[in-house]
Structure formats: C-alpha cells, structure tokens
C-alpha cells in the first residue's frame, strides 16, 4: 500500500527524551524496579518522559498526520457518538462505527493512514526495545469535556506485544482496573510528556479516562489533551 511520508524535519533523538527520571513528590508508594519508571498494577509509568521540546516536536508531527487523515467522531456499534475525536497513523487505524470495533487499513474517508512519525517511533523504541514495531498509532483528541469509559485493548492478535501511551496537553485522570470488569480501581493523573506501558500482567487491564483538567498545560493552542497509543495489531 502506498504511504505518504509525513515526517517532520528529522529525528530528534538527542535530548528530547528525558534520561533523568525523578519520581513526583505527590506520588506515594513508588515501586521502582530495574527500568526507570514506576509500576502501577503492572503498568509502567514514565513520568515526564518527553520534555517540552520533545512534546512540541510530537505535536507538530501529529498536526501533519491530522492534515492527511483528519480527526473524526467515532460512533460505537450501538450508535453512540464517542466524546473523543480520533485519527491514526501506521499500517492500521483503530475505528468504530455501526459495523463494530476493528482495525482498518483505511481512514473512514478512504485514504490510507499516514506513516507513524519518527518522533513517536523513537518513544516506542526507547521504552519497549524488545517489542515488534508498532502497526497502529491511534490518536485521541480530548476536548475539556471528553472522557473514555473503562475498556480493554483487545482487538490485537498478539497480547504478548505491549501498548504504549503518550500523553500531551492537559492533565487526565486515568483509571486503571483489573483484567475482568469490576473490582477496585486506582486513579492517577497523567500529565503532558508522560509515557505509560501496558504489557505482561497489565496488558489486558481495564482502563479509561474519567476527566480532563482543562487549562493545566500550555502545550496545545486550546484546552484539551492528545493521547497517542501505539499498538502491534497483527
Ligand atoms: O487517553 C488515554 O490515556 C487512554 C486511551 C485509551 O485507553 C485507548 O485509546 O484505548
């Protein structure tokens, strides 16, 4: 399939990924292990993984993706509009409409998805160096009122492969639950530049976003949040 190249001015592998990980003072019970990042229910959270320059670079690259593959309002199989807008890059985009949840190799307008920007691939390689290359870079736009219900990421074929999530813009209250629906959940604030990895025991945990704290970040040109999730699909 023909793919348009949408890379920015070039990889910024040098300084934009923070090498010094300092746990936040507001975070209690940090359980650090041999890789940087703290563990919450098996999910690895790299606080402040991207510095502001790195975040801006990723946002610029995402603007180019959205020019080629515009954000759309997804509709659940029951016909309910989701509150986030979505687009994607990579070989596949995740979509939902009356026909169901699925990966598709075309944007709903019929054009192929753009390539995953190198600035985003660099994050994947840094945090999950052993994993296969991501095939989907799902991009969610949260306006101030948007949220995402508790769900599992399970439309992929190989659950041994991780899901990597990058937060940009306003803070989000992220809820993480269990491998089955129900039971106790835990909530944490995800902030701009944070990177979360769900793999192993956390790969199939229910998770969602309860709310956005509008105006907590100046990264984007309006209140809201972008979340990027990278997945291996096949
Ligand atoms: O916005 C987030 O942090 C989570 C996004 C998510 O759960 C998803 O795209 O499946």
CA of 139 to the centre of ligand 1 (A): 9
Name the percent of the chain lying above pLDDT 90. 84
**CATH value of 38-231 in 3.40.50.300, 2.20.25.190, 1.10.357.10, 2.60.120.590:** 2.60.120.590
> Which residue in the block uniquely carries the two structure tokens 């997804």?
74
Task: Kindly list the domain boundaries of the chain, sorted by start residue.
Answer: 38-231
Q: What would the pLDDT profile of 98-157 be if each residue is shown by its tens digit?
A: 999 999 999 999 999 999 999 999 999 999 999 999 999 999 999 999 999 999 999 999
Q: How confident is the model at residue 35 (pLDDT cuts 50, 70, 90)?
A: low
Rounded-to-integer distance, Cα 87 and Cα 115, Å: 12
Query: What pLDDT was estimated at residue 79?
Result: 96
Which residue's CA is the nearest one to ligand 1's atom 8? 229
Q: Is the pLDDT of residue 32 over 90?
A: no
Q: Who contacts 213 (Cβ-Cβ below 8 Å, separation ≥6)?
A: 170, 171, 172, 173, 189
Is-contact 125 13, C-beta < 8 A? no
Is-contact 133 163, C-beta < 8 A? no
Which residue's CA is the nearest one to ligand 1's atom 7? 208
Query: What pLDDT was estimated at residue 37?
Result: 82
CA of 227 to the centre of ligand 1 (A): 6
Q: How confident is the model at residue 26 (pLDDT cuts 50, 70, 90)?
A: very low
Report residues whose beta carbon is within 6 angstroms of any ligand 1 atom: 138, 140, 148, 153, 165, 172, 174, 190, 207, 209, 227, 229
Question: Chain-wide mean pLDDT for the chain?
Answer: 89
The reported pTM is: 0.87
Rounded-to-integer distance, Cα 160 and Cα 86, Å: 25
17-21, 38-42, 194-198: least confidently modelled range: 17-21
Q: Average pLDDT, stretch 229-234? A: 98
């Amino acid at each position: 399939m023909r793919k348009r190249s949408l890379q920015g001015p070039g990889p910024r592998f040098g300084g934009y990924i923070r090498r010094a990980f300092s746990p936040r003072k507001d975070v209690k019970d940090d359980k650090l292990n041999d890789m940087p990042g703290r563990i919450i229910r098996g999910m690895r959270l790299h606080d402040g993984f991207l510095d502001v320059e790195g975040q801006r670079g990723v946002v610029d690259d995402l603007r180019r993706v959205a020019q080629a593959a515009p954000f759309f309002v997804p509709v659940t199989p029951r016909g309910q509009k989701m509150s986030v807008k979505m687009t994607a890059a990579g070989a596949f985009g995740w979509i939902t409409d009356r026909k169901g949840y699925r990966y598709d190799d075309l944007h709903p307008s019929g054009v192929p998805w753009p390539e995953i920007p190198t600035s985003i691939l660099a994050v994947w390689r840094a945090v999950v160096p052993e994993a296969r290359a991501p095939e989907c870079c799902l991009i969610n736009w949260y306006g101030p009122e948007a949220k995402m219900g508790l769900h599992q990421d399970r439309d992929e074929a190989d659950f041994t492969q991780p899901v990597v999530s990058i937060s940009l813009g306003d803070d989000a209250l992220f809820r993480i639950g269990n491998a089955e629906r129900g039971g106790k959940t835990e909530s944490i604030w995800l902030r701009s530049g944070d990177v979360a990895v769900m793999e192993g025991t956390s790969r199939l945990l229910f998770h969602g976003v309860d709310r956005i704290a509008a105006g907590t970040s100046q990264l984007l040109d309006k209140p809201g949040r972008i979340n990027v999730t990278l997945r291996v699909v096949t």
